[in-house]
Every structure is written in structure tokens, then in C-alpha cells.
Amino acid sequence: MYDKSLRRRRVALALLVACSLLLLTVYFGESAGGGLHSVQRGALEVLSPIQEGASRVLKPARDLARWIGDTVDAKGRVSDLERENEQLRRQAIAGTDAARQNVQLRRILGLDDAAGLAATRPVTARVIGQSPTVWYGTITIDKGSGDGVRVGQPAITGDGLVGQVTTATPGSAIVTLITDSRVAVSARVSENGVRGVVQTSAGGAGDLRLRYTTRSDRVERGWSVVTAGTSSAADRLQSLYPPGIPIGRVTRVTDAGTDTQQVEIAPYADLRRLELVQVLTARPNGNRP
């Protein structure tokens, strides 16, 4: 029974193929006014209105499907563009940050060269913490005793003196800034060599003064104050700092020419925005009293 059905299907298929070939041969062999061409035109005339009507009926559905597809596509592109934009933004920020820190490093190296600090075995560190007080009295850096950092060593930036190390652990250290009342620095005025001790004023956060000058010590507004690199006879402090490191600029002198004259100083280093500092881990011979 199955074999007979299969044979019938094969015979039907063969007849359909033969008919198709015959119709194609006749169609292409007859003129444009032949019977098959006429049948084709008649079919087109009958079906064309139906196709056009169906096309008009289905157009809103097609437009809706196209709009949905375009919207999904657009959202996907917007999402891709947002991710790309975010990546480019991160790269731009990283590049700007790296460029700024590169400038800071070049300035630090420039101060090393200008002040002859290579012999102090400087260690560059990143600031990872800052005291929350208005005085900004201390900062925490990411280098410690494991890197040769010890208590008492000075810290600088490319602008000048920052402070001294007061606590050191194997992986980090705390630097007390020169604006902290606990720090005193033997200093001299670059223009005429007048000596004194730089220390914060009693009542002002971040204000520095050059103490222990006398009535004969001339100091002018705008002059520079640097580390003396020697011990101070006034308070018997041995200098922890190599000579010639910039500290600040004289901003005001009150009661000039008297024993009570006060010399106020603004630090060169921006102590509120420290990112990179350098710790001088060895004392050069010039820093001996």
C-alpha cells in the first residue's frame, strides 16, 4: 500500500515538472499577444487591486513594526554611545590627572636640581590622607619606614617646604605641616641673610612668622625666606632641613626697626591641595650645625 502511494506521488511530481517545462517553453516561445501572456495580464489585473488594498491595510502595522525596530535600534546605539562617552570621559580625566601630576613631579625634580638635594636620597610619595581640621596640620603619605622614611625627615613639593615626618610605619607616614604650631624651622631671608625661626602665629591658622629678628634686621615685603640649614642660636634647635629650600614670601612687616617687629610669611607650597610630596631621607653635609 505504501509503495503504491509513493509511486503515485512520484508520477504526480513528474507530471507537474513536465507541465511546468511545457508552459515555460510555450510562454517564452509565443508572442506578447499569446494566450499565456493574456492569462498573466488578466491575473495581474485581478490581483493588483487586492495586493494594493492589502498593502494599504497592512501599512500601519508595517510602520509600527518598523518604528519599534528603529526605536530599539536607536536605544541600543544611544546606550553604546553613552558607554563609549563614559569611557572617553574616564580616559580624559585620567589623562588630565596624569598630566597635572607630571607637572608636579617635574617641579619637584627642578627643585632637587636647583637646591642640590640629590644627596638627600629623596623619596616621592602620594598624599593619601589629610587632617580634617581647618589648620590642615598633617597629611598621610603612602611611603613609610620600609622605603627609608623616618621621623624628623623633611618633606617638600616643587614649590618648597611642606613639613616634617612625625610618625612612620612600614607602609605609610604622617607629615606634620609647617603651619602646625609644633613645627619650627631655622630660616634666613634670601635677599640679605637675616636669620630667624619660622613658626605659625599664635592665633592664626596657616599664618607663618619669622621670629627672633631684631631691630637691626631689615626685612621687606615680597622678600623670600628659605631654610637656613643650621642650628638656631635663639632657640637651640638643630635644623632638620637642608639649606636653601624655599619656605615662603614675606607678606607684611609690622613695627619694623623695633625689637617687637613681626614678619609675616605666606608659604610657597599650597598646603591645602597636596597630591605628591618628596621626603628627604638623608642629611647632606651642609645640614650640620
- What ranges do the domains of the chain cover? 125-283
**pLDDT for res 207:** 75
Q: How far apart are CA 263 and CA 254, in angstroms?
A: 7
Taking all residues of the chain, what is their mean pLDDT, rounded to a whole number? Answer: 78
pLDDT band at residue 17, thresholds of 50, 70 and 90? confident
CATH of domain 125-283: 2.40.10.340
Does residue 289 register a pLDDT over 50? no
Q: Please state whether the predicted TM-score (pTM) of the whole model is above 0.85.
A: no
- Cα-based distances in Å from 33 to 22, 27, 138: 18, 11, 104
Higher pLDDT, 257 or 125: 125
Residue of 39, 8, 46, 9 whose CA lies nearest to 23? 39
Higher pLDDT, 28 or 72: 72
- Are 171 and 142 within 8 A, CB to CB? yes
> For 32-59, what is each residue's pLDDT tens digit?
666 656 666 665 566 566 666 666 666 6
> For 129-158, what is each residue's pLDDT tens digit?
987 665 568 999 999 999 999 999 999 998
> For 184-217, what is each residue's pLDDT tens digit?
999 999 999 999 999 987 655 557 999 999 889 9
> For 93-136, what is each residue's pLDDT tens digit?
556 656 666 676 677 777 667 667 778 889 999 999 987 665 56
